[in-house]
Structure 1
Amino acid sequence: MSNRNIQLAVLDMAGTTVADGGLVLRAFDIAATAAGIETEGPERDRARRYVLDTMGQSKIAVFRALLGDEDRAQQGNLAFEAAYDALIDEVGVTPIPGAAQAIDALRTAGVKVTLTTGFSRGTQDRLLNALGWNDIADLTLAPSQAGRGRPYPDMVLTALLRLRIDAVDQVAVLGDTTSDIGSGLAAGARIVAGTLTGAHDKDQLRAAGATHVLPSVGEFAELILASRI
């Protein structure tokens, strides 16, 4: 039986622990053009809205839903990854203030930390390298390593299994999107928190079922550490 202490924290990257700065939307605009979506007009407007609504989900799944054709989806996804990687080099990326300290505090207290993403494994590695975060977490996961991306529970449950956590009620999830919330709830995590540093606002996160809505990852760490007995 679980001792009820949180033993695993599953944290999203862009918008949750990493400042996005609009790079996802900029990369999407480049990729959408490459995939043949008109640069202006109703089709582009619908595509942008869909990307905003599905923030946090696997990017290849987003392109499949938008384009309805596997070849175009793959083309769009490859263009997105290339554009995002170039923007990392051009603009740079920074952590959410206090994110590294929060992760360190959790791990020091014995809580294992997994960083997850909706990006490909290659793009996730680019982010980790750019931040110097290759050893910051116990585990890092992209959708391709778990089966399905958010809002499915696969990445959360894969982290639980790989890190040998005993029960889902020992897991806490944090993300900035409704997809993150859906993933945590589907996995049965005890804490499924939203953070206000990214794509979706308090009302959206609450409507998705977040157990907590917090200003940032720092408060998430405080919540977990205060709950440990």
Structure 2
Amino acid sequence: MSTTQIRLAVLDMAGTTVADDGLVLRAFADASVAGGIPTEGPDGDAARRYVLDTMGQSKIIVFRALTGGDEERARAANAAFEAAYDRLIDEGNAEPIAGAADAITALRNAGVKVALTTGFSRGTQDKLLAALGWQEIADLTLAPSDAGRGRPYPDLILTALLRLQIDDVREVAVLGDTANDVTSGLRAGATVVAGALTGAHGEDELRAAGATAVLPSVREFADLVLSTR
């Protein structure tokens, strides 16, 4: 573990600080119909597997891949996905990961700035934050449209660094539940790039992606970051 003091923690939302509980796959069912993506048989299974494998990426990018680059179908699928996910939030399905709010508060109380990032649209992220009462929980919230590109690119993390006036990428710690989160953190040059076992990908996938640590949840991540201070 480096002795570099962490000044910024960049945390994913769904699966990392917010419980997913299958919401993405439920919303994907609506998206598949709208985008003409197979829902049954081997092709349907392959499409669902792709969604799981690409968890953390910007959803429009995922749908472009699943529709073979057909922009009209991809946008129809993405719109249906967002509408379905928003409906699931409205139905009361948004729940925080146990201890997430306390962990974020502990980080900020210790002087660590916190950014919450997502692969969802800005509108869906805002709806999710409102449902949780988290509008003021972090120093910054970012969706792919705020940064240029979503994961696995480093844009979200580097945008957080710039906006929150952090001097060095080595002062950044990243936490996510997917291989794409890990890849994004490594590409950004963060000192800590941790995986949380509360979401889409397991320990083997997170370690294979290069995670510097694999932790049970965001609570242990807060302890890890605060140990640098």
The percent identity for this pair of structures is 74
Partner-residue secondary structure (3-state), 2:174: strand
Which amino acid counterpart does residue 77 of structure 1 have in structure 2?
N
- Structural mapping, 1:161-172, within 5 Å: 161-172=162-173
Structure 2 equivalent of residue 66 of structure 1: 66
The separation in 2 between residues aligned to 1:91 and 1:26, in whole angstroms, is 14
What are the ranges of 5 or more consecutive residues in structure 1 without an aligned counterpart? none
Give the superposition deviation at 1:37: 2.1
- Structural mapping, 1:97-116, within 5 Å: 97-116=98-117
Residue by residue, what CA displacement relative to the aligned partner does 1:119-174 show, whole Å, maximum 9, x if unpaired? 00000001000000000000000001100000000000000000000000000000
CA RMSD of aligned residues (A): 0.9
The separation in 2 between residues aligned to 1:139 and 1:5, in whole angstroms, is 20
Number of aligned residue pairs? 226
Residue by residue, what CA displacement relative to the aligned partner does 1:53-96 show, whole Å, maximum 9, x if unpaired? 00000000000111020010000000000000011112421100
Contact between 2:38 and 2:47, CA under 8 Å: does it hold in 1?
Answer: no
Structure 2 equivalent of residue 211 of structure 1: 212
Give the superposition deviation at 1:207: 0.3
What are the ranges of 5 or more consecutive residues in structure 2 without an aligned counterpart? none
Comparing 33-42 and 151-160, the one that deviates more: 33-42
Structure 1 equivalent of residue 80 of structure 2: 79
The separation in 1 between residues aligned to 2:38 and 2:228, in whole angstroms, is 50
Which amino acid counterpart does residue 78 of structure 1 have in structure 2?
A
Residue by residue, what CA displacement relative to the aligned partner does 1:19-55 show, whole Å, maximum 9, x if unpaired? 0110000000111011112331222111101000000
The separation in 1 between residues aligned to 2:169 and 2:39, in whole angstroms, is 44
Structure 1 equivalent of residue 16 of structure 2: 16
Contact between 1:11 and 1:116, CA under 8 Å: does it hold in 2?
Answer: yes
Which amino acid counterpart does residue 57 of structure 2 have in structure 1?
Q
Partner-residue secondary structure (3-state), 2:158: helix
Contact between 2:34 and 2:73, CA under 8 Å: does it hold in 1?
Answer: no
